[in-house]
Chain A
Amino acid sequence: MLHLIKIQNSDSVGRREFLTRCTKAGLSLTTACALAYWFYDPMAPSGRQKVDVLPGLPDYSVPEMGNRMAIVRGTDRAKTIRLALEAIGGLERYIRPRDRVLLKVNAAFASPPMLCATSHPDLVTEIARLCLKVGASSVIVADNPINDPASCFALSGIEKAAREAGAKVVLPRRDSFRYFTLEGGLLIREWPLLYAPLQSVDKVIGMAPLKDHHRSGASMTLKNWYGLLGGRRNIFHQDIHNIIKELSMLLKATFVVLDGTATMMRNGPTGGSLSDLKETGTMIVSTDPVAADAYGASLLERTLDELPFIKKAEAEGVGMSDYASLNPKILTTD
């Protein structure tokens, strides 16, 4: 009031002028508030790039071949895999001329081949060579080891094995990943997936060593797809059996290879000593990954109850844990 009186008494501002100025000030304030409201973002930046979610992955299986399985005894990986592939009908029935093939190996660690923590280079060489022999136009080898992928592929011997067989190792890069949501999945939702190698091929062969795993009990062909996950995937270790189940639903491979030539019986998945290995002399090839893992469990001396992810994958229709129902061909190279 005192202020108004002072203004009224001043010799520079009249009543009309005062009201005009008040109106202008009010309009300025309203405009500023409106602009601030327009720019206001109630959500903090997520820090994540634009999500372009994939609806699904292609089916790489060969349905007309049905469910087939071969179990071959022997210690020479090149011989056992050749015999196993013949036993499931011949590689040429799965890989057509000009097919582009992806070998999804386990290259999780920069570990020497003798420790069997990664896919064995002899096996990589032979499968890549056979694929090219039956007419594949290209064979690529991929995985997503988190720590220094180049070292993992080099020290595991996989890079050299692939190169010598005429295949090419594809190292994961930032732009190799796409966000993916598994339909019906609870865990794989808008999660980065190593997509670039999958996008450019017609057939996918999963190649897994047979290992103990501290968290899941075993690392075999179903767990092998974990290597397709990007991001801070360690969070899934808290629900390991369900993430393996969802991974099994994610991708239908052409067939899987479970290398039980030497099995890491304890201290997996890294191992570290030859003492962790047992010579189990078995190569398993199957179009049904659940059956392959169920048989692998017996080599690892585990029951199916100790490896719940196998039954969970079976419940989702991924395959059959009763591998005997596939009438597997059991052969020996020796």
Chain B
Amino acid sequence: MPKKRTRTKGEALLGFLILAILVLIGVMVFLQQFQFNPAVTAHRILEGGMEQFSSDLPSTLVPLPDNFTGMTPLESFTPETLYEKINGQADFYLASGFLGLKSQRYVHTDNQDMWFEVFKYDMGTKENAFAVYSQQYREDGLPLQWAEFAYYAANALFFVHGQDYMEMRASSTSDDLVAAMHEVAKKYVASHQNPKL
């Protein structure tokens, strides 16, 4: 009869140690499932919204005249998040090849009621940019000469620059505010002489 081999004290200790670790891991997994991180399922929201918090972006979208400063952070929207900014108008841009929107408000340093907002729609091509420009054209708009397609209507400027369709909307029809907006638009076009087409 062969002699039965008995386990050593060290083997038993090692066995208990491994079992204890396995039980501990099991308990941790069991407890963790009750603390599911919602960020895991929020990835789509983050993908669209992260850029507005990125420190790599310039602080202003356009060159500002004296007495104006940034009123809000530079915001960025994708085709998935455009509706958050312009709601029911989003489908109009999406149908014309919209790729992205950047927008920002600027305010007069001495008068908080004097502000304007710049919308820069990246439409992918110059043709797409012209499509949204022409479909929204205001009949009473006054043509402007510093861009191929540009006009001014009451309190707002609208123009095409390369593949971008741009709008600048003022909070009032104040002469100073409208003049500042014109200056911004002209400087922007002059400083971006070779836009993507």
Given contacts A146-B83, A215-B88, A269-B89, contact A47 B38 (CB under 8 A): yes
Say yes or no: A12-B87 contact (C-beta < 8 A), given A151-B72, A273-B138, A273-B169.
no
Say whether chain A's binding surface is mostly helix, strand, loop, or mixed: loop
Which positions 6-28 of chain A face chain B at CB distance < 8 Å? Answer: 10-14, 17
B2 touches A11 (CB 8 A): yes
How many residues of B are in contact with the other chain, CB < 8 A?
40
A-B contact count (CB 8 A): 95
Q: Are A234 and B90 in contact (CB under 8 A)?
A: yes
Q: Is the CB of B88 within 8 A of A273?
A: no
**B88 contact set on A, CB distance < 8 A:** 213-216, 219, 237, 240, 268-269
- By the criterion CB–CB under 8 Å, are B169 and A272 in contact? yes
Interface pair B83/A272, CB less than 8 Å apart? no
| Chain A residue contacts of B1, Cβ below 8 A | 14
Nearest Cβ on chain A to B28's Cβ, whole angstroms? 14
Provide the bound-state CA to CA distance between A76 and B145, in Å.
Answer: 39
In the complex, the answer to whether A215 meets B156 with C-beta atoms within 8 Å is no
Is the Cβ of B84 less than 8 Å from the Cβ of A147? yes
Q: Say if the beta carbon of B4 comes within 8 Å of chain A.
A: yes
Say yes or no: B83 contacts A234, CB within 8 Å.
yes
- Asked if A275 and B91 make an inter-chain contact with CB atoms under 8 angstroms apart, the answer reads no
Task: Known contacts A14-B2, A114-B172, A214-B91; decide if A47 and B84 are in contact (CB<8 Å).
Answer: no
Chain A 254-297 interface 0/1 with B at a Cβ cutoff of 8 Å (1 = within) = 00000000000011111011111000000000000000000000
Shortest CB distance A140–B (Å) = 23
Digitize B119-161: 1 where CB-to-A-CB distance is under 8 Å, 0 elsewhere: 0000000000000000010111100000000000111101000
Residues of A within 8 A of B16 (CB): none
Which residue from chain B places its CB closest to the CB of A146 in the assembled complex? B84
Tell yes or no: B12 within 8 A of A by CB: no
Q: Is the beta-carbon distance between B40 and A47 smaller than 8 angstroms?
A: yes
| Given A112-B172, A273-B138, A268:B87 Cβ within 8 A | no
A17→B4 contact, CB < 8 A: yes
Interface 1/0 per residue, B81-118 and A, CB below 8 Å: 00111111111100000000000010000000001010
A12 touches which of B5, B40, B42, B117 (Cβ 8 Å): B5
Chain B neighbourhood of A274, CB < 8 A = 153-155, 173
A108, CB-defined interface residue at 8 Å:
yes
Determine how close the nearest CB of chain B comes to the CB of A94; give it in whole angstroms.
30
Please report the C-alpha to C-alpha distance between residue A151 and residue B103 in the assembled complex, in whole angstroms. 14
Interface string of A114-157 (1 = CB under 8 A from B): 11000000000000000000000000000000111001000100
Residues of A near any B CB (own CB < 8 A): 10-14, 17, 45-48, 108-112, 114-115, 146-148, 151, 155, 213-216, 219, 233-234, 237, 240, 266-270, 272-276
Interface residues of B (CB under 8 A from A): 1-5, 36, 38, 40-42, 72, 75, 83-92, 105, 115, 117, 136, 138-141, 153-156, 158, 167, 169, 171-173
Q: Which 10 pairs of residues, A with B, have the shortest CB-CB distance?
A: A47-B41, A274-B154, A234-B83, A275-B138, A11-B2, A275-B153, A112-B171, A273-B156, A273-B153, A146-B84
> 18 pairs across A/B with beta carbons < 8 Å?
A11-B3, A47-B38, A47-B41, A47-B42, A111-B169, A112-B171, A114-B172, A214-B92, A234-B87, A267-B89, A267-B136, A270-B86, A272-B156, A273-B153, A273-B154, A274-B153, A275-B139, A276-B138
| Additional A-B contact list (11), CB under 8 Å, known A114-B172, A274-B154 | A13-B2, A48-B41, A112-B171, A115-B169, A146-B83, A148-B72, A214-B91, A240-B88, A272-B156, A272-B167, A275-B156
